Structure 1
Amino acid sequence: MRKKIFVFFLLAFLAFTTIPKTPNNTIVYGFWPDWPYLGSYQPDWNTLTHVSYYKWTLNSDGTLTNPENMSNYYIIRDQAHQHEVKITLCIKSNDPYVIDSVIANHQTDFINNISKSLQMYGADGVNLDLETPNDINIITKTSNVPLFENLMANLHATLKAENPSYHISLDTPWGIKYAATFKNANLKKYVDSVFLMSYDYCNRRTTAPNSPYNSPTRYDAIDSVSETSKYFKKNQIILGLPFYGYDYLTDSNQPGANITREQAIFIGTAVNNSQVHGKIWDSNSNTPWYYYRSGNTWHQVWYDDKESLRLKYQYAKSKNLGGVGFWALGYERNYSTIWEVFNETN
Structure 2
Amino acid sequence: MTRKVYWIGLMLLLAGQTLLAQSKIQLPFEEAFRERKSIHQLEWEYYRKVAAYAAVQPDRSVSVAPLQPREVQLSREVFGYLPYWRYDGYETINYNLLTTIAYFGAEVDEMGNLVDLHHWPASGLVQLAHQNGVRVVLTAILFDTDKLRTLLSRAESRQNLITNLLNQVKQAGADGVTIDFEGVPGDQRDNLTQFMTDLTRAFHEEIPGSFVTIFTPAVDWRNAFDCYALANVTDGLIMQGYDYHWKSAPNAGPVAPLTSGDVWGTYNVTWTVDDYLRKTFNNNSKLILSVPFYGIEWPTADGELNSPTTDVGTAMIYAVAYSNAQNYGRLWDTHSQTPWYKYQSGSQWHQGWYDDSLSLSLKFDLVNERDLKGIAVWALTYDGQRTELQAAISNAFGSTAPPLKPTNFRVVNLGNGQVRVLVTPSAGATAYRLYTSTDARNFQSVDYPNNVIDLSGLSPDSVYYFKVSAVNANGESGVTELLAVRPTSGFAPILIVHGFDRTSGTRNTFDYIKRFAPSVARMGYAFDACANEVIEEGFLNLSDYRAVIWISGEEGTADESFSAAEQSKVAAYLENGGYLFVSGSEIGYDLVAKGSQADQNFYRDYLKAEYVRDKTGNYRVSGTAQGIFAGLSNIAFDDGSHGTYNVDYPDGIRPREGAVMALVYPGFDPATYGGAGIQYEGTFGSGTQTGKLVYLAVGFEAFYPESARDSLMARVLRFFDLPTRISAEETPRVSQQLRLGPNYPNPFNPETTIPFTVPAGDVQPVRLQIFDLLGREVITLVDRPLAPGQHRVVWDGRDHNGNPVPSGTYIYRLQVGDQSRSRKMILLR
Provide TM-score, normalisation by structure 2: 0.37
**Equivalent in the alignment of 1:174:** 218
229-238 vs 278-287, greater mean Cα deviation:
229-238
**Aligned equivalents of 1:192, 1:226: Cα separation in 2:** 19
Asked which structure has the greater CA Rg, the reply is 2
**Equivalent in the alignment of 1:6:** none
**Aligned equivalents of 1:309, 1:202: Cα separation in 2:** 17
**Aligned equivalents of 1:84, 1:276: Cα separation in 2:** 39
Letter in 2 for 1:180: N
Alpha-carbon contact 1:145-1:184 (below 8 Å) kept:
no
294-303 vs 55-64, greater mean Cα deviation:
294-303
**Equivalent in the alignment of 1:4:** none
**Aligned equivalents of 2:173, 2:79: Cα separation in 1:** 18
Which of 221, 224, 234 in structure 2 is aligned with 1:191? 234
**Equivalent in the alignment of 2:191:** 147
Alpha-carbon contact 2:227-2:276 (below 8 Å) kept:
no
**Aligned equivalents of 2:257, 2:214: Cα separation in 1:** 22
Displacement of 1:184 after TM fit? 4.2
Cα 1:76/1:40, change in 2 over 3 Å = closer
More helix as a share of residues: 1
**Aligned equivalents of 2:296, 2:389: Cα separation in 1:** 18
Letter in 2 for 1:150: Q
**Equivalent in the alignment of 2:649:** none
Letter in 1 for 2:238: F
**Aligned equivalents of 2:180, 2:369: Cα separation in 1:** 27
Residues 1:229 and 2:274 are matched in the alignment: no
Residue deviations 1:237-289, cap 9 Å, x none?
11100000001011211121121120001112111221111111000000000
**Equivalent in the alignment of 1:240:** 290
**Aligned equivalents of 1:190, 1:50: Cα separation in 2:** 19
Residues 1:59 and 2:109 are matched in the alignment: yes
Cα 1:234/1:190, change in 2 over 3 Å = same
**Equivalent in the alignment of 2:130:** 81
Residues 1:122 and 2:173 are matched in the alignment: yes
**Aligned equivalents of 2:221, 2:105: Cα separation in 1:** 21
**Aligned equivalents of 1:231, 1:164: Cα separation in 2:** 28
**Equivalent in the alignment of 2:261:** 216
**Aligned equivalents of 2:224, 2:213: Cα separation in 1:** 15
260-269 vs 85-94, greater mean Cα deviation:
260-269
Cα 1:330/1:290, change in 2 over 3 Å = same
Which of 343, 348, 354 in structure 2 is aligned with 1:297? 348
Letter in 1 for 2:329: G
Letter in 1 for 2:137: T
**Equivalent in the alignment of 1:93:** 142
Alpha-carbon contact 2:90-2:125 (below 8 Å) kept:
no
Residues 1:287 and 2:338 are matched in the alignment: yes
Letter in 1 for 2:185: N
Cα 1:152/1:37, change in 2 over 3 Å = closer
**Aligned equivalents of 2:117, 2:314: Cα separation in 1:** 24
Secondary structure in 1 matching 2:285: helix
Residues 1:330 and 2:381 are matched in the alignment: yes
Q: Which has the higher contact order (CA 8 A, sep 6+)?
A: 1
**Aligned equivalents of 2:200, 2:325: Cα separation in 1:** 45
Displacement of 1:157 after TM fit? 1.8
Displacement of 1:231 after TM fit? 3.3
Displacement of 1:67 after TM fit? 3.2
Cα 1:149/1:324, change in 2 over 3 Å = same
**Aligned equivalents of 2:215, 2:90: Cα separation in 1:** 28
Provide TM-score, normalisation by structure 1: 0.87
Alpha-carbon contact 2:169-2:176 (below 8 Å) kept:
yes
Cα 1:310/1:163, change in 2 over 3 Å = same
**Aligned equivalents of 2:88, 2:330: Cα separation in 1:** 27
**Aligned equivalents of 1:220, 1:101: Cα separation in 2:** 32
**Aligned equivalents of 1:246, 1:37: Cα separation in 2:** 22
Secondary structure in 1 matching 2:97: coil
Letter in 2 for 1:49: T
Alpha-carbon contact 1:31-1:54 (below 8 Å) kept:
yes
Cα 1:20/1:320, change in 2 over 3 Å = farther
Residue deviations 1:193-223, cap 9 Å, x none?
1111100101610111100013334321111
Residue deviations 1:138-174, cap 9 Å, x none?
xxxxxx1221121112112211111231100010111
Residue deviations 1:31-68, cap 9 Å, x none?
00110584475121101000000010110110012333
Displacement of 1:308 after TM fit? 0.3
Alpha-carbon contact 1:36-1:69 (below 8 Å) kept:
no
Letter in 2 for 1:206: N
Cα 1:117/1:186, change in 2 over 3 Å = same
Letter in 2 for 1:21: Q
Cα 1:36/1:213, change in 2 over 3 Å = closer
Show the 5 A alignment for 1:239-278: 239-259=289-309, 260-278=311-329
**Aligned equivalents of 1:50, 1:79: Cα separation in 2:** 12
Letter in 2 for 1:101: T
Displacement of 1:19 after TM fit? 6.3
**Equivalent in the alignment of 2:151:** 102
Alpha-carbon contact 2:297-2:351 (below 8 Å) kept:
yes
Alpha-carbon contact 1:196-1:239 (below 8 Å) kept:
yes
**Aligned equivalents of 1:37, 1:102: Cα separation in 2:** 28
Alpha-carbon contact 1:245-1:302 (below 8 Å) kept:
yes
Letter in 2 for 1:121: A
Letter in 2 for 1:317: N
Cα 1:41/1:250, change in 2 over 3 Å = farther
**Aligned equivalents of 1:36, 1:49: Cα separation in 2:** 19
Cα 1:336/1:299, change in 2 over 3 Å = same
**Equivalent in the alignment of 2:73:** 21
Cα 1:35/1:61, change in 2 over 3 Å = same
Cα 1:316/1:184, change in 2 over 3 Å = closer
**Equivalent in the alignment of 2:92:** 42
For structure 1, which runs of at least 5 residues remain unmatched after alignment?
Answer: 1-17, 137-143
Alpha-carbon contact 1:132-1:178 (below 8 Å) kept:
no
Cα 1:96/1:36, change in 2 over 3 Å = same
Cα 1:164/1:40, change in 2 over 3 Å = closer
For structure 2, which runs of at least 5 residues remain unmatched after alignment?
Answer: 1-69, 396-400, 403-829
Secondary structure in 2 matching 1:209: coil
**Aligned equivalents of 2:101, 2:327: Cα separation in 1:** 33
Cα 1:110/1:314, change in 2 over 3 Å = same
227-236 vs 323-332, greater mean Cα deviation:
227-236
Residue deviations 1:114-161, cap 9 Å, x none?
11111112210000001210112xxxxxxx122112111211221111
221-230 vs 49-58, greater mean Cα deviation:
221-230
**Aligned equivalents of 1:212, 1:96: Cα separation in 2:** 28
Superposition CA RMSD, Å: 1.8
Cα 1:189/1:104, change in 2 over 3 Å = same
